[in-house]
Amino acid sequence: MNAQETGRRLTLHPAFEQKTVHILVRWLLIILAFHFMATSGIAPGPFSLAVKISCAFILSNVALMALPRRYFSPGPFVRWLVAADFAFIGLTVYFVREPGALYHWLYIAALVLLLVMNSVRVPLLALAGGLVALSVGGGAATGRWLPSSDTGDFIRVTIVFSVAVLYFFVLQLLEGNARLFHIVARAKQEWERTADAMSELILLVDQDGTIHRANRSLANRLGKTPAELVGRPWYTVLDGSETASPDTPLSRMFASRTPVQAVYNHRTVGGDAQTIAVPLFEGDTLAGAIYILRPLAAGKASGVS
C-alpha cells in the first residue's frame, strides 16, 4: 500500500467535522467516567468530588456545542482544550483506581507523555515497561504478580486510558484532515487565479463530462459566472445540446484516451477556436480532462490544421 492509498484510508470523511468529533469523544469520556466511578466503590467523599468535576466537564461540553466551528481548527484553543480533556482523563483514572494501588500513576504518567510527546509509541512502551516492573517488584515483595489485586478496577483504568489513546488518534486524524482541506482549498485558489488570468477558455471535467472548474474567461464569454457552469455537462454548456457529439475534440479524446488538438466551432462559444483536450488519469483510470479553447479571429481558422 503506497502513501497516497494510506492517506485516503485514514483521512476522515468530510462529514466528520472537527467540532462534531471532538464533542462526541468528550461525551464518551463523560459516560465512561460516570459508569466506572459508579461501579468502582469510591468512598463517599472522593465520589462527591468526582461527580462535581464530571458535572463541570459536562457543562464545559455543553458550552463547546455553542461555539462556532472555526474554534476547533488546529491551534492554541484546541491545544488547551486537549490538555483540559487529558486532565479530566487523569482525574478519572485517579478516582477509579484500586485504593492503595500505585499502578494508576503509571497511566497518568503515560497520559502526560502522550500529550507532551505527541506520539503513541513511547508512552505505550513506557506504560508497558512500568507495569512489568511494578508487577515484578510487587511479586518479589508480596508474592502477588499483578499490579492490582482487583482486576475489575485495573480493567476500568485500562479502558479509560484506551479511550484517551483513541482520542489522541482521532485528533491526529482531524489535524491531518484539516491540513488536507487547507491544501486542497489553496490549490483550488491557485488554479482559479492562474486560469482566470488566462485569455483562453478553460474547462476541467470529470470522466462523466461534468464540469468541475471553469475559468472566468469562459464564463464571461457565455454571460455566466464560473459557479453557474460547475456541475453541468460540458456539451450542454458549449453546444447547448443534450448529448455530446462524437465529432467534438473532447468526445474524441474520451474515445481515444489520448490528447486531441483541432479547430472546432462550439455553438454557444461562437466562432472557430483552436482547441486541445488533455486526458487526466488516476493510475490507469481516465479521471477526466482539461479542455482549452483559444478563439480564432475571422480568417485565421483556415490556416490552422
- Per DSSP, the three-state class of 264 is strand
As a whole number of angstroms, the distance between CA 46 and CA 92 comes to 11
What pLDDT score was predicted for residue 302?
A: 43
> Which residues of the chain form beta strands (DSSP E)?
201-206, 211-214, 260-264, 273-282, 285-295
What number of other Cβ atoms are within 10 A of residue 2's Cβ? 7
| Per-residue pLDDT tens digits for 12-32 | 444 456 788 778 888 888 888
- The span from the CA of 52 to the CA of 27, in Å, is 16
Return d(Cα 23, Cα 81) in angstroms, integer.
11
DSSP-based three-state secondary structure for 173: helix
CA distance 115 to 102: 21
Quickly list H helices, 197-304.
216-222, 226-229, 234-239, 249-256
The identity of residue 166, as a single letter, is L
Query: What is the rounded CA–CA span in Å between residue 202 and residue 204?
Result: 7
Do 29 and 159 touch, CB atoms closer than 8 A? no
- d(C-alpha 179, C-alpha 73), whole Å: 10
The predicted model scores a pTM of 0.52
Residue of 269, 273, 275 lying closest to 297 (CA atoms): 273
- Residue whose C-alpha cell is 462550439: 266
pLDDT recorded at residue 124? 83
8 A C-beta contact, residue 265 and residue 273: yes
Query: How deeply is 123 buried, as exposed, middle or buried, from its count of CB atoms within 10 A (0-12, 13-18, 19+)?
Result: buried
Q: Which amino acid is at 114?
A: L
Residues of the chain predicted below pLDDT 70: 1-17, 41, 100, 138-150, 177-178, 180-181, 184, 298-305
190-209: pLDDT as tens digits: 777 777 778 889 999 999 99
Instruction: Give, to the nearest 10 degrees, the angle between helix 18-39 and helix 76-96.
Output: 10
Q: What is the pLDDT of residue 186?
A: 77
Residue linked to cell 487526466 = 280
